[in-house]
Amino acid sequence: MTEAIKNRYEFVILFDVENGNPNGDPDAGNMPRVDPETGLGLVTDVCLKRKIRNYVETLKEDGAGYRIYVKDGVPLNRSDNEGFLKVGIENAAGMKPDELKKKIKSKKDDGADVDGIVRDFMCLNFYDIRTFGAVMTTMVKGALNCGQIRGPVQLGFAHSVEPVVPQEVTITRVAITKESDAENKDTEMGRKYIIPYGLYRCEGYVSANLARKTTGFSESDLELLWQAILNMFENDRSAARGKMAVRELIIFKHDSELGCAPAWKLFDKVKISRRNPDCASPARSFGDYVVTVDTDSLPAGVTCTRMG
């Protein structure tokens, strides 16, 4: 495995949406997610990780060391099987759980480090496992210590800087679905949900300690992560999401593995305000905001880089 990163990081992602739905809620008819108490828009960490995975998959095209574990159309157990093959267990996904547990116990009794071998293989081959970790206990719950891997990179929920007002837009389609309706109507009605404009803020963490102890997340992996974040919407367009763009990535780097200051103190250095505080109109572009970072009072051992 490659040498793991040696520095802790925190980062802030600023991205916006224009006339789109950044993250629909399936429990609410796919309306944009909104905090009911504050009116702030929400985008889940899972949604953003999906965009990062998609970018890496598009860029690397399943190249060695950069495959994606959580992937559309690929059962997780199919990928898990490859790890078990490294310890001489074939067709693990086709075995009954008790049978597989006996196989694993037999290998361990023979001195094989089954947990470590499977874990190292999966981390070495799948970029998203090295980055975000994974839960790989679907075949052998409780029998494989490597089944839950804590990844060094974690994201929080993104929330909009100001309250958003989702709008329901009625649309029409000239194509008729059923042959029986062709004589009775010319169009069919539909609807889509949009947010006219919203600037979102997401905070994230990179643990050098977990990178060293668990997945081997390296400097090249880190550079790819920054690249993926900056471009996560560029090759993943859809009509439903409208115009989405990462406007800025603000990175705080510690000069040690465990860090030099609490994360919240660094996040508080990033301030977002309206360019014209007296304007009562809702924001409709990134230019309506000013982003400042108080770099003059950073704790000793912390540096800041702004990308975007």
In a domain, 4, yes or no: no
Reduce the DSSP state of residue 174 to 3 states and report it.
coil
Six-digit token pair at 95? 């075995």
Percentage of the chain exceeding pLDDT 90: 66
Q: Which domain holds residue 292?
A: 9-165+192-307
In a domain, 185, yes or no: no
What local confidence, expressed as pLDDT, does residue 137 receive? 67
pLDDT mean for each 10 residues of the chain (308 residues): 91 97 93 96 97 97 94 84 83 79 82 82 95 80 66 98 93 79 75 94 98 96 98 91 96 97 98 93 96 97 96
What local confidence, expressed as pLDDT, does residue 101 receive? 81
In a domain, 95, yes or no: yes
In a domain, 151, yes or no: yes
Counted domains in the chain: 1
Distance CA 215, CA 32 (A): 34
- Cβ atoms < 10 Å from Cβ of 112: 16
In a domain, 176, yes or no: no
What local confidence, expressed as pLDDT, does residue 52 receive? 98
Distance CA 49, CA 133 (A): 11
In a domain, 47, yes or no: yes
Reduce the DSSP state of residue 237 to 3 states and report it.
coil
pLDDT digits (tens, 9 = 90+) for 158-211: 999 999 999 999 888 787 777 777 777 777 788 899 999 999 999 999 999 999
Q: What is the pTM of this model?
A: 0.91
What local confidence, expressed as pLDDT, does residue 132 receive? 97
In a domain, 187, yes or no: no
Contact of 172 with 189, CB cutoff 8 Å: yes
What local confidence, expressed as pLDDT, does residue 141 receive? 63
In a domain, 132, yes or no: yes
H-state helical runs in the chain: 45-60, 76-85, 97-109, 114-125, 127-132, 208-210, 219-230, 263-267
Reduce the DSSP state of residue 98 to 3 states and report it.
helix
